[in-house]
Amino acid sequence: MAILTLEDGCVQLSAGPFVDSIGMVYYAGVDLGATNVRAVIGTEDGQTVGSSRNRTPRGPTGIDVTERVLDTVREACDDAGIEPARIDAVGIGSIGPFDLAEGAVIDPANLPDTIDRIPLTGPISVLTETEDVYLHNDTNAGVIGERFHSDRNPDDMTYVTISSGIGAGVCCDGRIIDGWDGNAGEIGHCVVDPRGRLTCGCGKDGHWEAYCSGNNIPEYARLLAEDDPTISTDLPLEDPDFTAKDVFDLAGADELADHTIEQVAHWNTIGIANIVHSYAPLVVSLGGAVVLHNEELVADPIRERVPEMVMSNVPEITVTSLGDDVVVEGALASAMTEGTGDRRRLHH
Ligand SMILES: [Zn+2]
């Protein structure tokens, strides 16, 4: 009983800067995105005791990005009132692609060309004095977090983000799937339109992302308007600033907006059904700005229609409760579970 009281005391006191709670185990989660770099510090009992956020520098070199990541981890440790060396393990969810053997980001697509290499695991390992540093792409960090926080902690689970692009993190048979060069979750580049009428940002035709990502919904609305010149609309199709938000804002009030939302729901359902047939998940968790800002118009139709398209077990389809924190929380969950999100691997 006395030990329990002591542990309770640690939980409360650990947030204070002057108390170094001996024996408490700390973990760090890091989210390196094209816009922001974030870090959180958590304790073994799941409390978040420190955090920090900075802009991701646009260079000039990858080392500058590495330095900003290290600064962000230091600031989060300061916020938690601990030295970085107290961190037991670190999880990182990052933009890719990676040299996984070197633990570095290589030629990231969404940062300037002068950034050719961002070393991550080595410098973070030195800062925190731990070998236990787990590097994942952002969608894999997402599925680790969703798995960790899911009631059933399933061995078979998929996290799908529908945002500026579309991608998935897959956990199958309890393993987070990377594939050759980490490309296993590039589900947004599955063909949903065999006619290939829209070209994807990757240069190939007919990909799911070319129709349904936040960046591409406006182009899809333009295509649908061309297909049916009689359809009425107040959407600013010719305006270069026309966005997906304009389409969703006019739901229920504009014929073309409704038709576009309907077609997007159809392709989204095809994409999710392909994932279900490929990986047999118990749970599919949806996230990303397009879903989070339009749950009724994007997630609900998928839930309703997937049973009509799936011949195998129909998974539970949820929307992440972690919101914009899904990657950094997933990275923290990775640190706590040896890179898996499996709660049986929490070490105490
Ligand atoms: Zn593509």
**pLDDT confidence band for 154 (50 / 70 / 90):** very high
Pick from 191, 137, 201: nearest CA to 169 = 137
**pLDDT confidence band for 19 (50 / 70 / 90):** very low
Q: From CA 213, how far away is CA 159, in angstroms rounded?
A: 16
pLDDT surpassing 60 at residue 20? no
Ordered DSSP codes for 267-289: HHHHHHHHHHHHH--SEEEEESH
Q: What is the mean pLDDT of residues 151-160?
A: 96
**pTM, rounded to two decimals:** 0.90
> Distance from the CA of 56 to the center of ligand 1, in angstroms?
25
Q: What is the mean pLDDT of residues 235-240?
A: 96
> Distance from the CA of 199 to the center of ligand 1, in angstroms?
8
Q: From CA 85, how far away is CA 139, in angstroms rounded?
A: 28
> Distance from the CA of 225 to the center of ligand 1, in angstroms?
23
pLDDT surpassing 60 at residue 17? no
> Distance from the CA of 193 to the center of ligand 1, in angstroms?
12
> Distance from the CA of 157 to the center of ligand 1, in angstroms?
23
> Distance from the CA of 198 to the center of ligand 1, in angstroms?
10
Query: What's the pLDDT score for residue 45?
Result: 86
Q: From CA 117, how far away is CA 62, in angstroms rounded?
A: 5
> Distance from the CA of 186 to the center of ligand 1, in angstroms?
9
> Distance from the CA of 194 to the center of ligand 1, in angstroms?
13
> Distance from the CA of 287 to the center of ligand 1, in angstroms?
19
> Distance from the CA of 204 to the center of ligand 1, in angstroms?
5
Query: What's the pLDDT score for residue 348?
Result: 54
> Distance from the CA of 97 to the center of ligand 1, in angstroms?
15
pLDDT in tens, 92-146: 999 988 998 899 999 998 889 999 999 999 999 999 999 999 999 999 999 999 9
296 and 290 Cβ atoms separated by less than 8 Å = no
pLDDT surpassing 80 at residue 10? no
Q: What is the mean pLDDT of residues 282-289?
A: 97
Q: What is the mean pLDDT of residues 63-75?
A: 98
Query: What's the pLDDT score for residue 160?
Result: 98
Q: What is the mean pLDDT of residues 204-233?
A: 97
> Distance from the CA of 111 to the center of ligand 1, in angstroms?
19
Query: What's the pLDDT score for residue 180?
Result: 85
Least confident of 169-178, 181-190, 208-217, 248-257: 181-190
> Distance from the CA of 200 to the center of ligand 1, in angstroms?
4
160 and 299 Cβ atoms separated by less than 8 Å = no
Query: What's the pLDDT score for residue 110?
Result: 82
**pLDDT confidence band for 46 (50 / 70 / 90):** confident
